[in-house]
Amino acid sequence: MTVPEPAARRPRGQTLGAGAAVLAALAVGHVVVTAFPVDERVQASFVRPAVVGEPVELRYARLTAGEPAGSTVLDNDDGTLLATPGVWLTVPLTIEVVGRPRALSFAELLGGDGRTYTVFTGGRSWFLPGTAQPGVPRYATVRVELPPEAVAGAHLRIGSEQKDQRRDDVADIDLGLTQADADAWASDDTPVVAGAWSDEPPEQP
Amino acid sequence: MPGPAAPPDLRARARQSGSTVARRVLDQPLRRIGLGGAIVLLAATAAFGGLQEQTQDGPEALTVDAPVEVAPFELTVHRVVWTTDLPGQYLSEDGNRWIGVVATVRNTSDAGLLGGTLRDALTLTDVDGLVKEHNPIVPGVTSTSIALLEDGSSLSPVQPGLTYEAAFLFEQDGSVAPPTSATVLVQRHTWRSSSLDPTAAWWDPTTTLRGELDVREAVSDADEEVDE
């Protein structure tokens, strides 16, 4: 019977040195990550600025915003009217997708008051243009409710994916709105119409 | 005194490895290892406030018509009523009824929120026959829908800076008598990153106010005019 020899003991200095090296590596990593916070920049969207009436080229679509409108009453174009404690803002969009059929689903409004107004694919503040085909312009309207004080200076952002806009193109459209627009809409109860998407251009008033 | 907790072969391997720390740990009895672990755990939590005195024993009392701050909302509960007929709202079965908690809602954060966060912020308990079951994540039973009083639409998204008058609607089985009282729970959320995703959101609805409120049958505007 052979008795296994006890394992050679590692010198204490070598063990302590290895431990110190690991701790030093962790400390250096922490310093690098905190001193150079690049995560947000790496994941940031590619923001493409635009103004009303000017097409903006995105990776997945060519987008043109029409003249915004507003009121205290929204006409869903289905027989129902929606009230709001603020004002309704509608922005008509022309979407020309690139390469393959696409369903744009992200929209949000950056208010002039610094707050973000959520637009979802369902609910009161709404953007749902459906799947657009390449070569066939899609006409859809974004609608969002907001306080009058957020109207002046508001920007509309449109993107491809509702849940995730990281590392992707996002249109940032300066709506060119002023306090005069906000005041006029806040005192107007003529319903502003926001119907469903269409492949036919909307009728001009 | 009881012997070492570790099996003999494990202790033999520890001796062969030459590690003094491993050998001494494995030679300890189970009770001593457990006690040591508990002390280490307590010391670790104490460093992060584990021994601080708890400032609140439980939910505060909810009173009607008093605004309460429950991040990310300010809620003012006005009344609890029941009715069998609400325009634009559909019961899952004929004969059921709605129990409505009428409240003023304000989103106090800097961004719009979807209705799910608001739904978790106000729940109902101590009412028999609610059709919706308890959600394990949220105390109480969540509402079936939240309808705006002005136009009956579903309140989502909830935009910041706006004040909404709304009814949190809970469907009750019609075979059960309408309640005369109900306990309203109001929850506060915490803004933090998800455990799985770095994206921050409102999580952890925790009850901070609780009130047992009277429930009465809803009176329509036409009835009120007749009464007058």
A window 4-33, beta carbon within 8 A of B: 4, 6-7, 9-10
Residue A132 at interface with chain B, using a CB cutoff of 8 Å: no
Chain B, 15 to 44: residues with Cβ < 8 Å from chain A are 16-18
What pLDDT is stored for residue B19 in this prediction? 77
Cβ–Cβ contact B200 with A under 8 A: no
The pLDDT assigned to B53 comes to 66
Whole-complex ipTM: 0.83
- Yes or no, beta carbons of B17 and A82 under 8 Å apart: no
B49 pLDDT band, cuts 50/70/90, is low
Question: Does the CB of B203 have a partner CB in chain A at under 8 Å?
Answer: no
Question: What pLDDT band is residue B179 in, cutting at 50, 70 and 90?
Answer: very high
- The answer to whether A120 contacts B156, with C-beta atoms less than 8 Å apart, is yes
Which residues on A lie below 8 Å from B146 (Cβ)?
none
CB contact under 8 A, A85 and B162: yes
pLDDT 10s digits, B123-148: 999 999 999 998 888 999 999 999 99
Mean pLDDT score across all residues of chain A = 92
For residues B151 and A98, give the distance between their C-alpha atoms in angstroms, rounded to a whole number. Answer: 39
Query: Does an H or E element contain B205, and which?
Result: strand B200-217
Among A residues 147-166, those touching chain B with beta carbons less than 8 Å apart: 147, 149-150
> How sure is the predictor about A9, in pLDDT bands with cuts at 50, 70 and 90?
low
For residue B92, CA distances in Å to B74, B125, B128 come to 30, 20, 17
> B150 — contact with chain A (CB < 8 Å)?
yes
Burial level of B68, CB count in 10 A (0-12/13-18/19+)? middle
Q: How confident is the model over B220-226, as a mean pLDDT?
A: 55
Residue A202 is which amino acid? Answer: P
Q: How far apart are the C-alpha atoms of A59 and A69, rounded to whole Å?
A: 28
Is residue B182's pLDDT more than 80? Answer: yes
Diameter of chain A measured on Cα atoms: 102
CA dihedral A107, A111, A115, A121 (to 10 degrees): -20
CATH for the stretch A46-193: 2.60.40.1240
Phi, psi of A17 (to 5 degrees): -65, -45
Integer Cα distance of A195 and A130 in angstroms: 13
Please report, for chain A, the start and end positions of each structural domain, with discontinuous segments joined by +.
Answer: 11-43, 46-193
Does the pLDDT value for residue A125 go beyond 80? yes
Mean pLDDT of B5-21: 79
The verdict on whether omega for the bond into residue A148 sits within 30 degrees of 0, i.e. cis, is: no
Strand ranges (E), chain A: 46-51, 56-57, 61-65, 69-75, 81-97, 106-110, 116-119, 138-146, 155-159, 169-174, 192-193
Average pLDDT over residues A158-187: 95
The predicted model gives B65-93 an average pLDDT of: 95
Q: What is the mean pLDDT of residues B28-51?
A: 77
Q: Are strands B181-193 and B200-217 parallel, antiparallel or unpaired?
A: antiparallel
End-to-end Cα separation, chain A, in angstroms: 102
Residue type, B180: T
What pLDDT score does A163 carry? 87
Q: What is the pTM of this model?
A: 0.80
